[in-house]
Amino acid sequence: MKPHSFRLTKKNRATIFEYAELVDRTPNQFLNRFLADFLIGPFNDPMAGTRESYLCHFSFKTRTDAQRVVSWLHQSEKAVGDGWNLEAEIIETPKGSFRIDAALFKNGQMYRIN
């Protein structure tokens, strides 16, 4: 897969440059370390719930888009196999977008994902 480029907002770019300079790193070094520490690490830990919670906070343009995330949630939960049962519902907002309401259940306990 060919890498894609993207643009940062002016505020994000300025923040990266500010903190990179503070710790004497290049903006590239700082951003890559920040992503590894605060995105990649937590997102790759299936027990943390970070990625699930974050992804469920998005509004989706279509029910199909939201359903793709719900399907991924079910696959992710099966892969972990820790006995929790996932329940997820797609809700249409008054503005016509779609949100995910999801929670995990086990032994009478509930852990809300979003």
Average pLDDT per block of 10 residues along the chain, 114 residues long: 82 98 98 94 84 94 98 86 86 97 91 86
What domain range is 25 assigned to? 10-43
Q: Are 39 and 71 found together in one domain?
A: no
- Predicted local confidence at residue 46, as pLDDT: 79
Q: Are 81 and 64 found together in one domain?
A: yes
pTM given for the model? 0.78
- Predicted local confidence at residue 69, as pLDDT: 97
Structural domain count, the chain? 2
Q: Are 39 and 55 found together in one domain?
A: no
Q: Are 39 and 57 found together in one domain?
A: no
Element counts in the chain: helices (H) and strands (E) = 5, 3
Q: Are 62 and 108 found together in one domain?
A: yes
